[in-house]
Amino acid sequence: MRILIALHRWWGVAFCLLFAMWFASGIVMHFVPFPARIGVDRLAGWVAIDRDKVRHGPSEAVAASGIQDVTRVRLAGRRDGPVYLISGASAARVLRAADLGDGGVRSERTALDIAIACARLRGLDTAHAVAAEQMSYDQWTVSGEFDFDRPLYRVPLNDQSGTELYVSSTTGGVVLVATRNARALNYFGSVVHWLYPATLRHHEWAWSRLMWWLSLVATIGATLGFIIGLLRLSRASRRVSPAYRDLQAWHHRLGLAFAPFILSWIFSGFLSMDDGRLFSTGATPADALMLAGKPAWDRLPPDVMHHAPTAAIEIEWFAFSGQIYRRDRDALDEQRLSRAAPETEVTSPPRAFLREDEIDSAAKLLERNCDHASAIGADDAYLAKPALPEAPVFRIVCGGTWYEIDGASGALLDRLDSSRRAYRWLFGGLHTLDFPPLRSSPWLRTIAIVALCAGGLAFSLTGAVLAWRGLRASVGEPFEENRAARGRAP
């Protein structure tokens, strides 16, 4: 028992303030999340496709890209002319539709024009926007998910909200929009919660291992405290141990009251840094390639604008079950989907989304015994987010493995084996209280998160004070004895 108490005391000296910071910043993060990257389907910065500048078809763009495993080709309108975005499991490229040259943005003026067009679509004031500043990364774009877009152009609008837009030099799309309040509050939320200063986060290897070990040691320390609390409670019931007093009593009571939440929250925070160490990591490029099949990109018709609406912002071709499908989009949440066909064949009638029989056809390529595909309900606990809000998500069950497929884009959203399904609850459930009853009542979930984090914060602060007192006592007593001894010396 003495050894446990000594360990717990020194653990408290090292980690109680860290715990307090995590609980306080967790409350902030619930209300002000970290500025999120705009998904590829959000059409940020795109304008209507200039038909006169589309002089090459998607088959030519695929051939010019040099990518052998192409699964998706997007033709998007941009202020400086339409571009093809060609992507596969191994690489991605952006080419101009006019001459199939490099489609990257190389001009600050172009980046500024793209940002202004996007801002106006969002109803933002662009009167005081200034020329873009090219940069590799900053606090809000240091994550690896922006690697393909670097260098980035940062465009301050200088509006009342202090809005800044980030334009990808690779695609020319706006990949991030952040306001002054969101940036400021995140220094008290996500930045401190994840130990996320850009200078540290830029070194991915060092940052991830620091967070992994800190959260692991923190979990061990919290577990020791819980064990001590239970032992003390047991001894107190038998009156073989004196009761805690004053602040120690409060720390003891708070620890016992909030122990299940504190332990599960710290442990699930540790799992957030798992990255495949203990659990599987979900869908892989190899899985996506299998579902795509081997489409004949070279047989696509060259006249891509023939069936496109005048205001089309994007046309996308994607491989699925060995076929090529075409998505025409002229609005954020609308699309027309059809199966693209060679010049000698008739294209299928347009509709909104893929059908279950088409999902079943792709499932056969997985070379496993799979059940019939079915659309997932909106209240499903494992539902992945589709490209469009109203799009169905289909699930293919192959033994103990589930594949979730976007009905709007044919994208493989997730691959859930038993390990991945367990991770969904051990991390997503425990760390963000993402349980079905609370998900259906956002206000109740908010109350629960704030109350539990506030209890954890109070527990951590009392522990920090006690740890500080113990540290002063352990350092001060030898110092006082030495001073007394010097005073008695002749």
Tens-digit pLDDT profile for residues 363-376: 998 877 889 999 99
Region at 374 (left for phi over 0; alpha for psi -120 to 50; beta for the rest): beta
What does the DSSP 8-state code read for residue 15? Answer: H
Structure tokens at 318: 């994607």
The yes-or-no verdict on residue 207 having pLDDT over 90 is yes
The yes-or-no verdict on residue 169 having pLDDT over 60 is yes
Q: What is the mean pLDDT of residues 325-332?
A: 86
User: Could you give the CA distance from residue 391 to residue 16 in angstroms, rounded to a whole number?
Assistant: 46
pLDDT band with cut points at 50, 70 and 90 for residue 379:
confident
Residues 86/67, Cβ–Cβ less than 8 Å: yes
The yes-or-no verdict on residue 236 having pLDDT over 60 is no
User: Could you give the CA distance from residue 287 to residue 71 in angstroms, rounded to a whole number?
Assistant: 12
The yes-or-no verdict on residue 75 having pLDDT over 60 is yes
User: Could you give the CA distance from residue 360 to residue 58 in angstroms, rounded to a whole number?
Assistant: 27
Structure tokens at 257: 């009251």
pLDDT tens, position by position, 27-70: 999 999 999 998 776 777 788 888 889 999 999 999 999 999 99
Cα angle 276-281-287, degrees, rounded to a multiple of 5: 135
Coil, strand or helix at 397: strand
Q: Which residue has the higher pLDDT, 254 or 44?
A: 254
Q: What is the mean pLDDT of residues 447-456?
A: 95
pLDDT band with cut points at 50, 70 and 90 for residue 467:
confident
**Amino acid identity at 48:** A
User: Could you give the CA distance from residue 400 to residue 253 in angstroms, rounded to a whole number?
Assistant: 43
40 contacts: CB under 8 Å, gap ≥ 6: 74, 173
Structure tokens at 103: 């489609």
User: Could you give the CA distance from residue 376 to residue 156 in angstroms, rounded to a whole number?
Assistant: 41
pLDDT tens, position by position, 263-313: 899 999 999 998 888 899 888 888 999 999 989 998 888 777 766 666 788
Q: CB neighbours (10 Å) of residue 307?
A: 16
The yes-or-no verdict on residue 92 having pLDDT over 60 is yes
Q: CB neighbours (10 Å) of residue 62?
A: 23
Give 316: exposed, middle or buried? Use CB within 10 Å, 0-12, 13-18, 19+. Answer: buried
Residues 285/89, Cβ–Cβ less than 8 Å: yes
% of the chain surpassing 70 pLDDT: 88
pLDDT tens, position by position, 386-435: 888 889 999 999 988 999 999 999 999 999 999 999 999 999 899 999 99
User: Could you give the CA distance from residue 358 to residue 362 in angstroms, rounded to a whole number?
Assistant: 7
User: Could you give the CA distance from residue 199 to residue 138 in angstroms, rounded to a whole number?
Assistant: 9
Half-sphere exposure of 125 (CA within 13 A, CB side): 9
Q: CB neighbours (10 Å) of residue 69?
A: 15
Q: What is the pLDDT of residue 479?
A: 47
Half-sphere exposure of 162 (CA within 13 A, CB side): 6
% of the chain surpassing 90 pLDDT: 54
Q: CB neighbours (10 Å) of residue 346?
A: 7
Residue of 49, 133, 170 whose CA lies nearest to 98: 49
Q: Which residue has the higher pLDDT, 465 or 320?
A: 320
User: Could you give the CA distance from residue 157 to residue 130 in angstroms, rounded to a whole number?
Assistant: 7
Residues 410/320, Cβ–Cβ less than 8 Å: yes
User: Could you give the CA distance from residue 113 to residue 119 in angstroms, rounded to a whole number?
Assistant: 10
Structure tokens at 289: 């390639």
Mean pLDDT of the chain: 86
